Amino acid sequence: MASILEEYEDSLSRSASLPQSRSNIGIPLSGFVNARLEKETPIFNKQRIDFTPPENINSLVVCSNQLCMSLGKETLLRIDLVKADQPNQVELGRKDEAKVHKLFLDPTGSHLLIALNTSECLYLNRNTQKVRTLSRWKGHIVESIGWNKFLGTETNTGPILVGTTQGQIYEAEISTNEGGLFSTNPDQYFRLVYTLDEEGGPAPVCCLEVERGIEGRYFIVATTRKRLFQFVGKISEGTEQQGFGLLFNAYTDHLPSFQEFPVNLGYSEIAFYTPKLRSFPCSFAWMMGNGVLYGTLDYSRPDSLFSDVQVWEYPSDVDLHFNKPISIVLTQFHFLLLLVDRVKAICTLNGQVVFQDVFLEKFGSLKQMVKDPIVGQIWIHTEKAVFRYHVQRESRDVWKMYMNMGKFDLAKEYCKDRPECLDMVLAKEAEHCFQNRRYVESAKCFALTQNYFEEIALKFIDAKQEEALMEFLLKKLASLKPSEKTQITLLITWLTELYLNRLGVLESDTSKRNPYLEMREEFRKFLSSPKNKDCLFNNRASIHDLLASHGDTEHMVYFAVLMQDYERVISHHCQNDDYDEALNVLSRHRDEKLFYKFSPILMQHIPKKLVDAWITMGKRLDARNLIPALVNYSQIGGTEQINEAIRYMEFCVYELQEKEQAIHNYLLSLYAQCRPDSLLPYLEQAGTNPVRIHYDLKYALRLCAEHGHHRACVHVYKVMELYEEAVDLALQVDVDLAKSCADLPEEDEELQKKLWLKIARHVVQEEKDVKKAMVCLSSCNLLKIEDILPFFPDFVTIDHFKEAICSSLEAYNKHIEELKKEMEEATQSAKRIREDMQEMRNKYGLVEPHEKCAACDFPLLNRPFYLFLCGHMFHYDCLLQAVLPNLPSYKQVKLEDLQKKLAATNQPPKSRHRLKDEDTISLGKGQQTREQIKADIDDIVAVECVYCGELMIRSIDKPFIDPQRYEEERQSWL
């Protein structure tokens, strides 16, 4: 018997270690493929306990892992299944022929009642070894016990109910003293509370069950061979310890409610199922003659505990005469019937036999089947063997039954962790809803299945259920992954079309204003959904086309704003002449490209506001790109547009300090055409330094000339240093202006003199004013009297020029003296130069035999070389290689030509002899000599030392390493 614990622990470890089967899910075209990872274990897994009893087993009870069995006449065996290797054997100590009729064990596993066939009852507490006789119980064969699960403890049972074979129901209580010692009388009291009748006489109380509902209501279930009674009553809080007397007293004048069936087995048995983590049963199964009465327990009902009651007939092979069911046990979805040689499991959902286990004849006939209500294990025994069933994953196929029954919510609940089964349930539910015209619900279910998308969509299209189709597409869209871009694009485009159709229908019906607003809000949420954003953006052109095809301009604008396609938004406002709103959009989003594109049309209608927006943008706008918008309307001649154009150009020039020539030219043109008073101040403010002037001088000159702004032309001429033209034009305006121009070429006295002569001629010949002419003569030191005399008429007397002539003669005399002095100095300088040249002819340099080329570092005397005054020496070819890349292109061409000529003079005599006579003659005429060619080459190549001359100075910013080879060179150093 000690091996029971080992077997028990082994079975627990095996059941704990058995991995639950899972399905390897793959998604084919239209559903799932199941691949079992392991062999499916049965729901009811039987295990024989390795135990051979020394005597026949009469009765067996199990509760809270406490197992008690009666062996033979006098032996009780108690086993704590947690410590199965420590069985406890107790002797009844009876000397008579009494046999154990039944054993009863309370829910705590502490109180054991032993009913004898001699109308006696014994009591054994879990913590004692001594069996006590319940004296008050004597004279009754106990058939059933109704334990008090609510007040019972390990030392006290609380008020319990006792059913006898004579139909009496007694109330009793058993108590022990603290410390485990029995009091003189463990049975506190034993009083009759009710008697059950059947067909006019007493009937055995086969089963008793006590349950408590809400608001202190108690339900007592009692069964006879073919009747099931219910006693319902309220026991006030705090009076539970007083027992059930008051509850039964209510039925002294009338019978309790009961159900009766005509056929009986001679006995009956009721089983209850209590889910884990709950203290109340939720369903029952009553084994009686007609079959099994099954139902659920509803504690909220005032008059009856049973609900959804139905009768499942026994399987066809159950014979009530020769093969009657012996016991029944209830699990969550099955009830197990114990027959003489087998166990049958019947599903409570459909009444079908789902499991049958036949026992071998060697074990003998089956006697009893009990279930531990706390642990859930099922025990069966014969006279010589004990078996145990583990219930594993009982709900694995329940989903299918619920599905076939149309209870889809329950079916989904029981297969939520099995996608392949859940898909079947959803498909079945979807078809069911579709057949019952609940199209929207059907669409929601279809969207969660793996059925063909096309088939489902066509179903709703054929049924003309656009709303359901939209619901299906929305749900399908929500289930797609971001990587499924093609499917997402298809669904979003289709949904957009459906939304627009729906909105069009609702908008045309004025009575459906509220549905229209709701649909519009739903459509906008769809368009603005972050999940759809990328797809909508990538296909925005198609969506815009859809919106345009439906003429839904409101949503075109809304969608364009969502996609940040402000160009389309602004275009829409402009087309509807809402230019202020268009400018608001521009100003709000500050997109330079959009400013450039829409400024022309906005300049036509709201120039001032537009220029204000430009000024606000500041340097973010390139004024050059705005000139086309300004030029268009300045040419038309709109006064407001021109004024605003000038205002913006002045802002660019004076505030932003723009230096772009196009901007200054355009401002210049605006001044010339519309504001001539501002033209000259602008030109003068720009200065006279051509380098610092940002407008085009030639364009300014032509512009001023075309519009007749002579003073401005004179200013431009002065800046361009065209002083003659400036003086000529200034003389047409003002002589003083011409004088200011004539003094400008300070470094060119000849030109300055020429300009003053122009002024003098004009004064004499045009104005005929001799005094004014003399004033001009005194204003310029370069003019002499003899220069302006030819301009005067013959009748003018000499008196006007007397002082001027004398001054001129004195100046000439002084100038002659200065020339003489300069001639003497030039003669001395020429003499010194001739002496230096003579000295240079005799200068030479020494080259040692060991000297090397400064470029290639090879001996210098091996090849022709050059020696420079600085001391550097180069081979001819080395110097040529160093100089050639840095020569101007024209010198490179000339050098190449000279080298070809030199090579021609080096041809051998034979080749020259073969030349035709005419060729020889042509070579000899007008051809340079070899020495002349070499001298010309030297003038190019050896004009200066490559290390000390200008060539080295020009190469100061040249990198030491060619940029194209820099990376290669850098890697070579790593």
Closest CA to 276 of 375, 365, 176, 169: 375
Residue 26: pLDDT over 70? no
Contacts of 187 (CB under 8 A, 6+ apart): 123, 134, 135, 136, 137, 172, 173, 174
Count CB atoms within 10 A of the CB of residue 385: 21
Closest CA to 361 of 345, 383, 389: 383
Query: Would you state the pLDDT for residue 358?
Result: 92
* Rounded Cα distance, 577 and 39, in Å: 77
Measured between alpha carbons, how far is residue 245 from residues 106, 231, 233, 251 in Å?
A: 21, 12, 10, 10
Where is average pLDDT lowest: 778-782, 812-816, 951-955? 778-782
Residue 424: pLDDT over 80? yes
3-state secondary structure (DSSP) of residue 544: helix
* Amino acid letter for position 177: N
Taking residues 577-588, report their average pLDDT.
84
DSSP 632-660: HHHHHT-HHHHHHHHHHHHIIIIIS----
Count CB atoms within 10 A of the CB of residue 786: 13
775 — pLDDT class (breaks 50, 70, 90): low
Q: Which two tokens stand for residue 927?
A: 């051809």
306: exposed, middle or buried (C-beta count within 10 Å: 0-12, 13-18, 19+)?
buried
End-to-end CA distance of the chain: 84
Secondary structure letter of residue 33 according to DSSP: B
* Rounded Cα distance, 498 and 790, in Å: 101
What ranges in 842-905 are assigned the alpha helix state H? Answer: 876-883, 889-905
Query: Would you state the pLDDT for residue 415?
Result: 85
Phi, psi of 499 (to 5 degrees): -60, -45
The count of C-alpha atoms lying within 13 angstroms of the C-alpha of 351, restricted to the half-sphere facing its C-beta, is: 12
Secondary structure letter of residue 887 according to DSSP: S
Strand-strand pairing, 57-63 and 66-71: antiparallel
Residue 10: pLDDT over 70? no
| Residue 634 near residue 605 (C-beta atoms within 8 A) | no
Secondary structure letter of residue 859 according to DSSP: B
* Rounded Cα distance, 893 and 329, in Å: 117
Task: Note the pTM of the prediction, 2 decimals.
Answer: 0.55
Query: Would you state the pLDDT for residue 279?
Result: 77
364: exposed, middle or buried (C-beta count within 10 Å: 0-12, 13-18, 19+)?
middle
E-strand stretches of 701-820 = none
* Rounded Cα distance, 622 and 596, in Å: 9
Which carries the bigger pLDDT value, residue 732 or residue 190?
A: 190
| Residue 99 near residue 128 (C-beta atoms within 8 A) | no
| Residue 23 near residue 362 (C-beta atoms within 8 A) | no
914 — pLDDT class (breaks 50, 70, 90): very low
Count CB atoms within 10 A of the CB of residue 405: 12
Q: How many helices (H) and strands (E) does the chain have?
A: 36, 32
Question: Model confidence over 237-260: pLDDT tens digits?
Answer: 777 778 888 889 888 888 888 888
Which carries the bigger pLDDT value, residue 312 or residue 561?
A: 312
* Rounded Cα distance, 5 and 82, in Å: 7
| Residue 114 near residue 76 (C-beta atoms within 8 A) | yes
Residue 120: pLDDT over 70? yes
Rg for the chain (alpha carbons), in Å?
62
Query: Would you state the pLDDT for residue 803?
Result: 56
Count CB atoms within 10 A of the CB of residue 208: 21
Residue 776: pLDDT over 80? no
| Residue 226 near residue 311 (C-beta atoms within 8 A) | no
Instruction: Please give the CATH architecture assigned to the domain spanning 92-224+227-260.
Output: Beta Barrel (2.40)
Closest CA to 18 of 50, 43, 49, 51: 43
CA 893 to chain centre: 66
Count CB atoms within 10 A of the CB of residue 223: 28
DSSP 52-75: --SS-EEEEEEETTEEEEEETTTE
* Rounded Cα distance, 131 and 134, in Å: 10
Q: Which two tokens stand for residue 176?
A: 């022990």
Query: For the chain, what is the mean pLDDT?
Result: 81
270 — pLDDT class (breaks 50, 70, 90): very high
* Rounded Cα distance, 290 and 263, in Å: 6
**Spans of all domains in the chain:** 92-224+227-260, 395-479, 735-805, 848-899+929-973
Q: Which two tokens stand for residue 880?
A: 């040529």
Closest CA to 544 of 558, 525, 524, 523: 558
29 — pLDDT class (breaks 50, 70, 90): very low
Taking residues 796-801, report their average pLDDT.
53
* Rounded Cα distance, 536 and 493, in Å: 9
Q: Which two tokens stand for residue 254?
A: 């009338």
Residue 794: pLDDT over 80? no
Taking residues 937-962, report their average pLDDT.
83
* Rounded Cα distance, 357 and 347, in Å: 15
Q: Which two tokens stand for residue 955?
A: 């190469």
| Residue 764 near residue 791 (C-beta atoms within 8 A) | yes
| Residue 248 near residue 194 (C-beta atoms within 8 A) | yes
Phi, psi of 562 (to 5 degrees): -60, -40
Question: Model confidence over 610-662: pLDDT tens digits?
Answer: 888 888 888 888 888 888 877 766 555 568 888 888 888 888 888 888 888 88
454: exposed, middle or buried (C-beta count within 10 Å: 0-12, 13-18, 19+)?
exposed
* Rounded Cα distance, 270 and 861, in Å: 131
Taking residues 79-95, report their average pLDDT.
87
Count CB atoms within 10 A of the CB of residue 213: 18
